[in-house]
Amino acid sequence: MKRISQLLAAVVFIMTFAGCKCEVPECVVPECPATTCSEAATPEPQASPKAEAPKPAVAAVPAGERDMEGMKEVFDFIKAQKTYYLATVENDQPRVRPFGTIEIFEGNLYIQTGRKKNVSHQIEANSRIELCTFDGERWLRLAATATADDRAEAQSHMLDAYPELKKMYAVGDGNTVVYKLTDVTATFNAFGGEPRVIRF
């Protein structure tokens, strides 16, 4: 017994002078009998859990679920207003400007601009766009992915629909660019009414 008592005393002595954080809640050895701890090892920092990636703002629309009649309604609404407002992102700064071109080509909505413009650079960096327009009673918000279509046929279709643009743009001039809008979610709203969503 005397031998055991001596061993226990030695353990207490070593732990007391080796030190541990007994007086703080995060003590790594809470059973430590020491009353003052100045040289205790601190616990390893916990790795913070990885943040989940944000969900895409523009969800893919399966081909079989595209509302083509709805797309025509959206097109007619935008076309009738003549002007809509197109929003892009530049780094973390939203950018918005008036736009006027909108066409249907090969079953998709298309818009047009110049490659030298900031709006084109912003779309190339982040293809998620939104547009909005208002007829005095209803407004439309449309979110989509914009992808450049460099084919001459696509450019020609747009310029034929807006012949006034031919003063500034030409097919294959290196500046004209048309964007196909895909995975579109268009939402009609009216004051006091329920939103109506069309996806195509």
- pLDDT for residue 65: 87
Is residue 140 within 8 A of residue 111, CB to CB? The reply is no
Structure-token pair, residue 100: 């006027």
CATH number, domain 63-199? 2.30.110.10
**β pairing state of 84-90 and 196-199:** unpaired
Query: What are the domain boundaries of the chain?
Result: 1-43, 63-199
User: Which tokens in the block code for residue 21?
Assistant: 């954080």
Q: Which residues of the chain have pLDDT under 50?
A: 1-2, 4, 7-8, 10-45, 47-56
Look at the block and give the residue holding tokens 């226990």: 8
pLDDT for 193 equals 93
Entry pTM: 0.70
Q: What is the pLDDT of residues 128-177, one digit of tens each?
A: 999 999 999 999 999 999 999 999 999 999 999 999 999 999 999 999 99
Give me the pLDDT at residue 129, please. Answer: 98
DSSP state of 82: S
